[in-house]
Amino acid sequence: MRKKIFLIMKQAFYLSFLLLITQLSFSSINLNSHESIKPEKKHEKISALIERFIERSHYNHTKIDDELSSKIFSKYIEDLDENRSYFTVTEIQNFEKYRYKIDDMFGSQSLDPVYEIFNKYRINASNRMEFALDLLKTEPDFTLTEIFEFDRSEKGWLTSAEDLDEIWRKRVKNDALSLLLNEKDWDEAKEILEKRYQRFLKQLNQINSDDIFETFMNSAVHSLDPHSSYFSPRNSEEYQIQMSLSYFGIGASLSIEDDYVSIINIIPGGPAAIDGQLKPKDRITAIAQGIDGELTDVIGWRLDDVVQLIRGPENTVVRLQILPEGMAPGEPEKIIDLTRDQIKLEESAAKSEIIQTERNEEKYKIGVIDIPSFYRDYRALKSGDEEFTSTSSDVKRLLNNLNNENIDALIIDLRNNGGGHLTEATALTGLFIDNGPVVQLRNANGRISRLDDPDPVPRSSYNGPMIVLVNRYSASASEIFAAAIQDYGRGIVIGQQTYGKGTVQNLYALDQYVRRNDDELGQLTLTIGKYYRVTGESTQNRGVIPDIKLPSYIDKSKTGESSRDSSLPWDTIKPSRFKKGKSLDSIIKFLLSQHERRMESDPDLILLKEDIEESLKYRKKTSVSLNLKERIEEREENKKRKEQLENEKNDSDEDQDNEDRDINLYEAADIATDYKVLVASEEEKNQIAKQIN
């Protein structure tokens, strides 16, 4: 059978979502029946296939041996009980006999030990939830001085069931306290928690053999790198729906993280992106249908069940109760109303605007082109439509419009752009360089290929001062573009260190590799290559380091490729030959000095920096008080601090229309203005020198 391999050059966060959506979080679901689930015959077939692909096609040609077996074992245990809340140290020690045997289970030996571990987990999880339900019979004493450690991921395993009882007693108390802080009384909180815990028990009963196999297999392939993943037949179909965006929803990628449905990424052009309130790492705690619908608590639900609640008919309203990123359970939640719609390409297309700035009583026009993703309408292209929609064609049109407006400098805004089509990254780069290589790719066999500016004519669409604005969520194709602009000396990159997703994936439909197969086998996404800059440096893991850093709420230690345990390393290959422009070092040094001066004097930047520092400090918390009075006081103090910052910000804004302006974008405009003024001054000096000579 002819192999049909589909090259996937998708953005980092879509890939992250796709690998995470299959990784069902069983650590919050429980079971009434202890009947063991067994592996199916087809799972041995799938294991053997995946072993072959890993050893032959993965970028590292990783051999499935004892070393990898140990990594898979640790990852599997972590995926089941990341917060150390179900297994005791004795049980973990009993599982250790399988640490170096998992490699033998890929096709040759039984997968029974994998299921044995999970079935033991089911018993423990069921007992924990029954214990939690029993605790609800008595109202906790919220006047005691106690601390709940909600993040135990870095802690050791507990030694006894009694130790676990104490952890769960505090967990249940915190669950109740969180509801009391959101204006529920004890009876209401008790009812909500009873339903929540009973739902956990019911949902664990629905886990089947495919679910367990998928969890285990994702533990295996995620041990290779973060972007390789396995999709069961059920989730293979879900993958196609998500990639085609052929459904009506809110336009957000989701995953399960420790009981909560968490936002992975906001899809450009969708209702959530247009509304602007929902952010990555926000957590959905409840969902309601319609403006007046009753909120349904969804903490602990299966991801696919939550997705079904969010999806619905076009032009209908879904209400989400959100616990913002960094906020501990029980902190104030917010309600977001979103109208379901189909993702429209034109809404996710590049857009432009002009920001007016002033220096020395002289006005400047700074053009801004916001690029949410690197898109290309392949369907129109294949049909022969020469006017097919693409990032590069849209940006070229916008540049013509901005040039007609006589802009003084240009900002390309790639913040939150997770990538997309590689061909569009090279074509976009070609709009700003005369010609030459844009990116290099090395495959699993070590073969290096090069992608050049697709337009060989030595010209560019814009020649003035240029800024590329990025943040930690700028990934993949965004990093290729930003790196090329930086390497050619064509522009200055400002913002935050980018994501560091410099790998390429292939998608293998496993059914196509087995003859006379009656079973559906799912599909495998496997990392098969890496991107490299024209300088020979990889964008993998390290990302693109900005020339000038801007303050950001995004904690790079928690977000990005370098925060993932199995990330492929940064490395280098031989540089490409390319014609670099004049060094920008002296210009960057001057712009940096001006930026630092504003950071110390501009009220908006000062307040932004202070708020970020407070926010990052708060996010480092791993425990909360279980004293109701203390929690109320802490919440009120935090609320007052935010109100004070907001009032100070409003007082500093002379123009009230700019209260909600994008501070970093306007700082980028100031940097671009400084760039223009400096370049104009240099040109004037050169003209005078020529006249003298």
Residue 188 tokens read as: 């209401």
Helix or strand holding residue 500 (H, E): none
Task: State the Cα–Cα distance between residues 314 and 338, nearest whole angstrom.
Answer: 11
**406, 365 contact by CB (below 8 A):** yes
**542, 525 contact by CB (below 8 A):** no
Buried (b) or exposed (e) across 367-384, using 16+ Cβ within 10 A?
bbbbbbbbbbeeeeeeee
**257, 264 contact by CB (below 8 A):** no
Intra-chain end-to-end CA distance of the chain, in Å = 75
Task: State the Cα–Cα distance between residues 127 and 589, nearest whole angstrom.
Answer: 62
Count CB neighbours of 110 within 10 A.
13
Question: For the purposes of burial, counting CB atoms within 10 Å of the CB of 123, is it exposed (0-12), middle (13-18) or buried (19 or more)?
Answer: middle
Closest-CA residue to 25 (of 305, 295, 330, 288):
305
DSSP secondary-structure letter at 281?
T
Task: State the Cα–Cα distance between residues 616 and 610, nearest whole angstrom.
Answer: 10
Closest-CA residue to 198 (of 301, 111, 66):
301
CA separation, residue 243 to residues 14, 62, 247, 274 (Å): 8, 28, 10, 19
Closest-CA residue to 580 (of 493, 486, 672):
486
Within 413-456, where are the H helices? 422-430
The full 3-state SS of 626-659, as one line of letters, equals: CCHHHHHHHHHHHHHHHHHHHHHHHHHCCCHHHC
CA separation, residue 123 to residues 37, 163, 197, 213, 389 (Å): 12, 17, 15, 18, 54
Closest-CA residue to 101 (of 119, 127, 76):
76
Task: State the Cα–Cα distance between residues 370 and 388, nearest whole angstrom.
Answer: 20
**154, 632 contact by CB (below 8 A):** no
φ/ψ region of 59 (left if φ > 0, alpha if ψ in -120 to 50, else beta) reads alpha
**430, 455 contact by CB (below 8 A):** yes
**364, 408 contact by CB (below 8 A):** yes
**231, 525 contact by CB (below 8 A):** yes
Task: State the Cα–Cα distance between residues 400 and 245, nearest whole angstrom.
Answer: 31
The catalytic site residues sit at: 476, 487, 501
Residue 474 tokens read as: 């700028």
**413, 368 contact by CB (below 8 A):** yes
Task: State the Cα–Cα distance between residues 183 and 188, nearest whole angstrom.
Answer: 10
Residue 385 tokens read as: 């439509």
| DSSP 3-state of 591 | helix
